[in-house]
Amino acid sequence: MDIEPLRQKTIAISISESGDMASLGLAEEHLRDAMAEIARHLLAMGARLVYGGDLRAYGFSELLFELVSRHRRDLDGPGIASYLAWPIHRSKSAAELRALAHKLDGIADLHCLDLHGSEIRLDQLMTSSTKVKSQWKWAQGLTAMRQVLTSVSDACVVLGGRVTHFRAECPPLQKRRYLRFKWDIRFTFAVGLVGVLVISLRILGWCPSG
């Protein structure tokens, strides 16, 4: 029996808090625990993870990096590819990003994207950091990043998801084009019927209204 059935697969992780979690007796800690367990099992089965998050302290990206460092030291390369949207990596200086890439060597590949989703090499990043205030640039950058994640992944794990106060063109995965995940996909996981996940499943006709 193959002990690593997902060794040739790339699995995207889509996770964020949802405003309706509290009504179900759930908190961010439950979301983190669920993601940690799912990611741990995927890594144990040989999958390579991809994630498009931010770099905040104690955030989901940091948790994924820690999980990979613990559970996938024997991978033929980094266990996770971290994609940073343009407005997110612009908040860091080139020196900070290069230092982070060096720290994550063997654990994660860091990919910095421009507003259209094209990759920017670390040696081509802007020297100084800046806080991006344009809502349009946030929407463009995050949408482009999600399209890149869709193109490089075989499947996606969806947990939670905001339906308000988001910065992309729409809530993550709500439109059909974000739900497509290449129709040759062989396995998809849907976890936690809260937030944008419920809306997404209704769009596909997989979840009743009401």
The answer to the question of residue 44 being in a domain is yes
Residue 23 lies in a domain: yes
What would the mean pLDDT of 22-44 be, rounded to a whole number?
Answer: 81
Q: Is 4 a member of any domain?
A: no
Which CATH number goes with the domain that contains 187? 3.40.50
Domain count, the chain: 1
Give the model confidence (pLDDT) of 132-149 as tens digits: 888 889 989 988 998 898
Mean pLDDT, range 8-16, rounded to an integer: 84
pTM comes to 0.78
Strands (E), 5-116: 10-16, 48-51, 80-84, 108-113
Residue 190 lies in a domain: yes
Whether 194 has a pLDDT exceeding 60, the answer reads no
Sequential DSSP letters for 180-205: -S-TT----EEE-S-THHHHHHHHTT
Please give the Cα distance from 110 to 163 (Å, whole number).
28
Is 1 inside a domain boundary? no
Residue 66 lies in a domain: yes
Contact 63, 36 (CB under 8 A): yes
Output the six-digit token pair for 137.
């640039």
Q: Domain range holding 51?
A: 10-203
